[in-house]
Chains A and B, each alone.
Chain A
Amino acid sequence: MKAARVLPVFSAAYAVIYLVAMYENLALATYYPRLRQWFALTVTDLPKSAGPAMYWYGWIATAAIGGAVVALLALALPERPLARFMAVASWAAPLGAVLVIAFLLRGWFLA
């Protein structure tokens, strides 16, 4: 269960990285459903005939890998102070990300 103590670090880092990846469009992969084709990283320059691009899968991959790396690094931190900090950060980060995303997407409802 020792390694499991960094799971809250993963969740907090995942939320922050997902937010940044979505906002800056940093996808590890791009899917073009009309072409049924995957591309590495963020691809935006295909002709219009390629249809819409989907970055959602790529953002999740970016956040998952980024969160895992941060969690692995956190294994080096002392257990007790980390647990105390993560007791709040582990839920505050995803909750904050939900609120920030709702704010960023408000344009859909105001137009």
Chain B
Amino acid sequence: MVTALLIVHALCAVFMLGALTHQTLSVWWPPAPGERSFFASFRAVRAAAYSNAIAAMFVITAALGAILYPSYRLAVRVVLEDLRLNWANGIFELKEHFVALGLGVLPTYLYYWREPAGDNALGIRVLTTLLAFIVWWGFIVGHVLNNIRGFGS
């Protein structure tokens, strides 16, 4: 059960990684008119249309993580402590705090994407980038820790 949840958790994170990477690049580096390269197409998405799905996936992924967290605390973290892998515990600690902060950012992220007035332009860029950073961090940390000590190992 835990392994299945972990896989779903990771798949949700992959979905968010893609959506947030598209969205972040599109707000900082929109393609010039007529640009048709692969990278221009990657950035030429209707970024606002992603925001609801990203927020929903963030909440779902965080909720799955919250369900899995006790298993991690009892089965993985103890091993990392025994192995004196302080850096591994540290990157996970950062992940839990960053995700918690990301949850708090979501209402404003959604509000700004719905009301993209002049005052909110920088907020849209920074909050989208912050969420992208949090999701990338969480994904990479989860991957690294699973390589050290995966559930069921």
Contacts and interface: CB of A to CB of B under 8 A. Distances in A.
Which secondary structure characterizes the binding site on chain A?
helix
Contact of B100 (A1, A18, A34, A83): A18
Contacts of A111: 86
Chain B interface SS verdict (over half)? helix
Contacts, number: 106
* Residue among A51, A90, A102 having the largest count of chain B Cβ atoms under 10 Å: A90
Interface string B117-146: 001101100110010011000000000000
Interface residues on B, range: 35 or more
**Range for the number of chain A residues in contact with chain B:** 35 or more
12 contacts: A1-B115, A4-B111, A22-B97, A52-B77, A60-B100, A91-B126, A91-B127, A91-B130, A98-B101, A101-B94, A102-B94, A108-B87
Interface of B: 66, 69-71, 73-74, 77, 86-87, 89-91, 93-94, 96-98, 100-101, 103-108, 110-112, 115, 119-120, 122-123, 126-127, 130, 133-134
